[in-house]
């Protein structure tokens, strides 16, 4: 049965693929591993049962994809590493293509993603969400590598400002990326969301054109704005780090606001 008003959800028509942000949409991270957001485990199961294509698009850089996926499976999510589009593998591709040897300013748990990469005599810096590793000493070391290069290259695995953990908001990689940009007068190359290349590779992996895909995220700029710039529709969930002021954002207007992933999936599946 169609519930009142939902049949008018024009934004939900002609969808073949969904891209889901992970943190703040599926779960809220935390020191204890985090907690799933109500209804999200079931929502993922329903998307898969519907036959829609699905990619999990995350800027998560505190763990390898394997570890991250294991954690989500432990919460009950039907998710595999092959379904995850994440910044670290994209960064590794760029490093290899351009013969770059990185100095890593990343979380210890992410380091294995760079096992295949030559890190001797660094000629660039790769920065990710290093959390507790963002000490003055570590930032200063990255600064010294960059400032000592004739052509400084700074690669950032995202540019989020903050994210939500179970005990509150946390500074994200973007704040530290900006510090290094400012100190070294360099422009970072972002490989995670909202970079166009990131969304385009997720779409290519699904085999779905942008106009037949919807991105669902809690980050108005990186999830919603980034996806819309690629020609996708994008929804803002009122979970995760969402704040009411997001609804008056001067630049980004989502195609719709939904209370949570479960509600979005209800509406989209009704249109199939």
Give, in order, the Cα–Cα distances in Å from 65 to each of 22, 60, 70, 142, 169: 12, 8, 8, 24, 23
Would residue 6 count as lying in a domain? Answer: no
Among 212, 232, 228, 210, smallest CA distance to 220 is for: 228
Would residue 4 count as lying in a domain? Answer: no
Distance CA 176, CA 188 (A): 11
CB 216 within 8 A of CB 25: yes
Distance CA 152, CA 140 (A): 15
Q: Is 270 helix (H, G, I), strand (E, B) or coil?
A: helix
- Kindly state whether residues 104 and 181 are assigned to the same domain: yes
- Kindly state whether residues 250 and 225 are assigned to the same domain: yes
- Kindly state whether residues 104 and 163 are assigned to the same domain: yes
Would residue 70 count as lying in a domain? Answer: no
Residue 166 pLDDT > 80, yes or no? yes
Burial category of 109 from C-beta neighbours within 10 Å (exposed 0-12, middle 13-18, buried 19 and up):
middle
Hey, how many other C-beta atoms are within 10 angstroms of the C-beta on 121? Answer: 7
Predicted local distance difference test score (pLDDT) of residue 90: 95
End residue of a domain, out of 190, 220, 240: 190
Would residue 135 count as lying in a domain? Answer: yes
- Kindly state whether residues 222 and 264 are assigned to the same domain: yes
- Kindly state whether residues 160 and 232 are assigned to the same domain: no
Would residue 38 count as lying in a domain? Answer: yes
Q: What is the pLDDT of residues 107-158, one digit of tens each?
A: 999 999 999 999 999 999 999 999 999 999 999 999 999 999 999 999 999 9
> Which domain, by its residues, includes 37?
16-59+193-270
Would residue 42 count as lying in a domain? Answer: yes
- Kindly state whether residues 114 and 174 are assigned to the same domain: yes
- Kindly state whether residues 95 and 185 are assigned to the same domain: yes
CB 205 within 8 A of CB 55: yes
- Kindly state whether residues 157 and 226 are assigned to the same domain: no
Residue 91 pLDDT > 70, yes or no? yes
Residue 71 pLDDT > 90, yes or no? yes
| % of the chain beyond a pLDDT of 70 | 97
Distance CA 18, CA 193 (A): 16
Predicted local distance difference test score (pLDDT) of residue 177: 98
Predicted local distance difference test score (pLDDT) of residue 272: 87
Residue 1 pLDDT > 50, yes or no? no
Give how many domains the chain has, as a whole number: 2
Would residue 69 count as lying in a domain? Answer: no
- Kindly state whether residues 165 and 220 are assigned to the same domain: no
Helices (H), the chain: 40-50, 65-74, 87-97, 136-147, 173-184, 196-206, 226-229, 261-271
Would residue 112 count as lying in a domain? Answer: yes
Predicted local distance difference test score (pLDDT) of residue 32: 86
Predicted local distance difference test score (pLDDT) of residue 7: 55
Residue 2 pLDDT > 80, yes or no? no
CATH number at residue 115: 3.40.50.1000
- Kindly state whether residues 101 and 37 are assigned to the same domain: no
Distance CA 229, CA 77 (A): 29
- Kindly state whether residues 219 and 177 are assigned to the same domain: no
End residue of a domain, out of 166, 190, 214: 190
Using alpha carbons only, what angle is made at residue 161 by residues 187 and 107, rounded to the nearest 5 degrees?
Answer: 80
| % of the chain beyond a pLDDT of 90 | 94
pLDDT interval class at 170 (50, 70, 90):
very high
Average pLDDT, the chain: 95
Residue 3 pLDDT > 90, yes or no? no
Predicted local distance difference test score (pLDDT) of residue 9: 85
CB 205 within 8 A of CB 82: no
- Kindly state whether residues 205 and 186 are assigned to the same domain: no
End residue of a domain, out of 162, 190, 218: 190
Mean pLDDT computed over 38-54: 98
Predicted local distance difference test score (pLDDT) of residue 31: 85
């Amino acid at each position: 049965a169609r519930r009142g008003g939902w049949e008018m959800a024009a934004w939900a028509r002609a969808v073949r693929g969904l891209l889901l942000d992970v943190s703040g949409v599926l779960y809220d991270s935390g020191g204890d591993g985090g907690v799933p957001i109500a209804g999200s485990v079931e929502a993922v199961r329903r998307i898969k049962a519907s036959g829609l294509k699905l990619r999990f698009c995350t800027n998560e850089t505190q763990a390898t994809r394997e570890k991250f996926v294991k954690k989500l499976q432990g919460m009950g999510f039907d998710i595999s590493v092959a379904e995850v589009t994440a910044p670290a593998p994209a960064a590794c591709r760029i490093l290899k293509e351009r013969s770059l040897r990185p100095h890593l300013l990343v979380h210890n748990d992410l380091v294995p993603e760079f096992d295949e990469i030559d890190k001797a005599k660094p000629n660039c810096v790769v920065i990710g969400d290093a959390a507790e590793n963002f000490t003055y000493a570590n930032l200063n070391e990255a600064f010294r590598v960059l400032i000592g290069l004739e052509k400084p290259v700074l690669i950032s695995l995202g540019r989020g400002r903050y994210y939500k953990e179970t005990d509150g908001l946390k500074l994200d990689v973007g704040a530290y990326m900006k510090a290094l940009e400012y100190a070294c007068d360099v422009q970072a190359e972002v490989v995670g969301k909202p970079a166009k290349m990131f969304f385009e590779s997720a779409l290519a992996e699904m085999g779905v054109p942008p106009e037949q895909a919807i991105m669902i995220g809690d980050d108005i700029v990186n999830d919603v704005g980034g996806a819309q710039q690629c020609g996708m529709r994008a929804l803002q969930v009122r979970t995760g780090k969402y704040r009411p002021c997001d609804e008056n954002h001067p630049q980004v207007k989502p195609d719709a606001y939904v209370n949570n992933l479960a509600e979005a999936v209800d509406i989209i599946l009704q249109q199939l």
